[in-house]
Chains A and B, each alone.
Chain A
């Protein structure tokens, strides 16, 4: 049985039987672990499954059965939450093709059918942080007023000392916990809809590849702190309103972790090597948002550049003509 994204339930592809995952009892799954941590046997067909040290679920390349490596999902490696796949493989393929066609600068013929077949559904490990941030700032601000007084222009500057102290709570800020995955790419896939964040149950992984984290929440904390410090700074600045100029003299932001959740998020990935350079595309498997670095057709770039420049030139001259050249 595999997890079907359309119904949200465990489905047998042969007989159509469906099982609700919420009621599923965790039990030992399709794996027999051996002392060699990287070599496993498929319980279904006995074939040896080679994985890298981070994979926690995959499909047997011989018989296609879903394979879950229990010891990589137990103990402190047990995920707390998961967002199940909402977009099916077929839907993802169609969406990727459309996205590439829409690209203003992508070369023609990119993303042809056979390449898209290599689309992979991966549960990527994330740490979600609940944080509290206490931020204080001192600023020197002015209100400037200019007016005429007889033969003089008067500039009146009122100076203020401004102080703000705020207490902020941030919930479930995600940070990707896999070294392999490109951080910037994963960040761009946000936001995920947390209303569909479910408690983790192994069957959700059936039919997909899953990775475990290789950095724990303490190791990743500096990354999330850097991000939330920026959010806090932004909030502080937004509370100082109504001044002509604001300059912050002193700022102190203290961000602390309240709790953290190890979660798996669904992502469709396509790796494409085009003209000898790698291009990676990722789709948020819940919302469908696509990010990636597509190849850029030099010809198209040049054409757009020329076209826009020519039109700007014409518009400039038309405006000058209408105004009669008067400035």
Chain B
């Protein structure tokens, strides 16, 4: 090649410039692979104006990408006989599972305007320990429902959807206030372990007792003279299994395609 025939130092300068330009271009190339190309807002019930829909689409893209998840909103006039839960599970299996840029992580919102049966359902998917399914647990989804429901009831669909996107953005990545995460608890446990360890050391500092109840026992001249194990009676107690409250509270489960998810929903 012509470049290689150049004299000494020039050759290296040119190669160096080629390498730099390649490196500068490369990150852009990989960045576009990571970003999601899925459509985010599926307004089949025409609840939004074009402007609102584009606005929400952009919001979902931005907030979703920054959280490495797909935030999706679906509206339908009717979903027939199937439950909102099954609808979203199928949606996930068909549209997201294979095309996901984020390993299946996503948050789904379905709003159905069935006359007698208006309702909405939220689900979170993802399998690794820090997935969207993990961050949107039953309690948090219930909280989103409580904020979104009044807006939907008042016909403020655009506001309701914005509320949903904001809350998902908040929750994904937010550590749980488990007691184990609290500093005071961790300090208490560590100091407790320290105290117990040192107490054992102090207790043993003087030497341990090394005889037990069998040390002086003469096995050859010890025996059981008599034993009885008499069965008297059996008592049986039955307790009802705690039922899952089926007012639509906790609708976590697994999609037909085998993907587990968290979930919850309500009518409005």
A-chain residues with CB within 8 Å of residue B214 when the two chains form the complex: 231, 235
Q: How far is the CB of B80 from chain A (nearest CB, A)?
A: 31
Tell me whether B26 is interfacial, beta carbon within 8 Å. no
B-chain residues with CB within 8 Å of residue A162 when the two chains form the complex: 227-230
A191 to B236 CA separation, bound complex (whole angstroms): 50
Tell me whether A195 is interfacial, beta carbon within 8 Å. no
Mark interface residues in B54-85 (1 if CB within 8 Å of A CB, else 0): 00000000000000000000000000000000
A153 to B236 CA separation, bound complex (whole angstroms): 10
Q: In the complex the two chains form, is B186's CB within 8 Å of A160's CB?
A: no
8 Å CB contacts to A: which residues of B164-208?
175-176, 178, 180-181, 186-187, 189-191, 193-195, 197-198, 201-202, 205-208
Closest B residue, CB atoms, query A228: B216
Q: In the complex the two chains form, is A152's CB within 8 Å of B241's CB?
A: yes
Closest A residue, CB atoms, query B134: A326
Tell me whether A103 is interfacial, beta carbon within 8 Å. yes
Given contacts A165-B226, A165-B227, A327-B178, contact A291 B206 (CB under 8 A): yes
8 Å CB contacts to B: which residues of A200-252?
228, 230-231, 234-235, 239
Given contacts A156-B234, A292-B207, A308-B193, contact A230 B213 (CB under 8 A): yes
Range for the number of chain A residues in contact with chain B: 35 or more
B-chain residues with CB within 8 Å of residue A301 when the two chains form the complex: 198, 201-202
Q: In the complex the two chains form, is B213's CB within 8 Å of A235's CB?
A: yes
A156 to B224 CA separation, bound complex (whole angstroms): 31
Q: In the complex the two chains form, is B191's CB within 8 Å of A296's CB?
A: no
Tell me whether A190 is interfacial, beta carbon within 8 Å. yes
A-chain residues with CB within 8 Å of residue B201 when the two chains form the complex: 104-105, 301, 304
Q: In the complex the two chains form, is B224's CB within 8 Å of A309's CB?
A: no
Q: Which of B190, B224, B233 contacts A313 (CB 8 A)?
A: B190
A170 to B215 CA separation, bound complex (whole angstroms): 9
A-chain residues with CB within 8 Å of residue B238 when the two chains form the complex: 149, 152-155
8 Å CB contacts to B: which residues of A277-320?
289-294, 296, 301, 304-306, 308-310, 312-313, 316-317, 320
A301 to B233 CA separation, bound complex (whole angstroms): 55
Given contacts A153-B239, A188-B206, A326-B134, contact A309 B193 (CB under 8 A): yes
B-chain residues with CB within 8 Å of residue A327 when the two chains form the complex: 178, 180
Closest A residue, CB atoms, query B197: A308
Q: Which of A154, A164, A312 contacts B226 (CB 8 A)?
A: A164
Q: How far is the CB of B133 from chain A (nearest CB, A)?
A: 11
Q: In the complex the two chains form, is B198's CB within 8 Å of A308's CB?
A: yes
A-chain residues with CB within 8 Å of residue B213 when the two chains form the complex: 230-231, 234-235
Q: Which of B129, B130, B217, B230 contacts A161 (CB 8 A)?
A: B230
Tell me whether B22 is interfacial, beta carbon within 8 Å. no
Q: Count the B residues whose beta carbon is within 8 Å of the partner chain — how many?
A: 55
Q: Is the interface of A mostly helix, strand, loop or mixed?
A: mixed
A163 to B240 CA separation, bound complex (whole angstroms): 36
Q: How far is the CB of B130 from chain A (nearest CB, A)?
A: 5
B-chain residues with CB within 8 Å of residue A53 when the two chains form the complex: none
Given contacts A158-B234, A188-B206, A317-B186, contact A151 B241 (CB under 8 A): yes
Given contacts A191-B210, A306-B194, A326-B134, contact A160 B180 (CB under 8 A): no
Tell me whether A166 is interfacial, beta carbon within 8 Å. yes
Q: Which of B186, B221, B236 contacts A156 (CB 8 A)?
A: B236
A154 to B187 CA separation, bound complex (whole angstroms): 41
B-chain residues with CB within 8 Å of residue A165 when the two chains form the complex: 224-227
Q: In the complex the two chains form, is B198's CB within 8 Å of A305's CB?
A: yes
Q: How far is the CB of B197 from chain A (nearest CB, A)?
A: 5
Would you list the 3 A-B pairs with minimal beta carbon distance, nearest first?
A291-B207, A324-B129, A309-B194
Show 23 residue pairs from A and B whose CB-CB distance is below 8 angstroms, ordered by the A residue. Answer: A103-B205, A105-B202, A106-B205, A151-B240, A152-B239, A152-B240, A158-B234, A161-B230, A163-B227, A166-B225, A167-B222, A168-B222, A171-B216, A190-B209, A235-B214, A301-B202, A308-B198, A312-B194, A324-B130, A325-B176, A325-B181, A326-B129, A327-B180
With A169-B218, A239-B227 given, can you name 8 additional A-B contacts, CB distance below 8 Å? A161-B228, A162-B227, A165-B226, A188-B207, A190-B209, A305-B198, A316-B189, A324-B129
